[in-house]
Amino acid sequence: MENTQATKHRNKGLFFPLMLILVGMVILLERNGLVDRQAILQLLPLAPIAVGGTLLIARLRRRMG
């Protein structure tokens, strides 16, 4: 039981650091001219969809196993 709680705590603790890394990488690529700002803005609405899908899959996996 303690293992499961530790895993849940660890997974929640990784979300924001990973998001910060991702945002930093995108900003760095954009400033160096490797990524177009308009392309990023067009794809931005996909971020909440991806996060929601990931959370849904994780929740379904917990229920099944």
- The domain in which residue 50 lies consists of 35-65
Examine the pLDDT at 9 and tell me if it is beyond 70: no
pLDDT reported for residue 20: 87
Q: Give me the phi and psi of 59, to 5 degrees please.
A: -65, -40
pLDDT reported for residue 44: 84
Q: Is 42 among the domain residues?
A: yes
Which two tokens mark 55?
């959370």
Q: Looking at residues 19-33, what average pLDDT do you find?
A: 88
pLDDT reported for residue 19: 81
Q: Is 17 among the domain residues?
A: no
Burial zone of 30 (CB within 10 Å; 0-12 exposed, 13-18 middle, 19+ buried): middle
Examine the pLDDT at 32 and tell me if it is beyond 90: yes
Q: Is the whole-model pTM more than 0.85?
A: no
How many domains does one find in the chain? 1
